[in-house]
A = this chain, B = another copy of it.
Amino acid sequence: MIGRLNHVAIAVPDLEAASEQYRNTLGAKVGEPQDEPDHGVTVVFIELPNTKVELLYPLGEKSPIAGFLEKNPAGGIHHMCYEVEDILAARDKLTEQGARVLGNGEPKIGAHKNPVLFLHPKDFNGCLIELEQVG
């Protein structure tokens, strides 16, 4: 069911410093900050040859990563995103097997304009997993 690893997301306490570090110290291809008000984050995409890293910084007062950064002030790996071909089929198969989907269970449109869902970390080895429908 799962396909490519679409991205790994890192919550960071200083978006400019983290971008600068990936661009200059680690020598990666780093994009410009993009505000995603529907998701409560500002995102910087880092293009690696085979996948992406996303730096996340809180946007607005109800950012879903504000709590994570309170618990992890230095930042940390926040989630990983697997691609699926059919997000509703994936959701139905997972929930039939007892896995929990966060929120109301319906896909939202993610930062890449594709439908996404998040799975409950307690059902997946403590990892927050995003599923993104591609193609």
Contacts and interface: CB of A to CB of B under 8 A. Distances in A.
Interface residues of A, number: 39
A22 to B, nearest CB: 8
Contacts of A122: 74
A135 interface: no
A102 B26 CA distance: 17
Contacts of A74: 121-122, 125-126
Interface stretch (A34-42, A49-57, A59-67, A107-115): A49-57
Interface of A: 1-5, 8, 10-13, 18, 21, 25-28, 48-51, 53, 55, 72, 74-77, 80, 82, 93-94, 97, 99, 121-122, 124-127
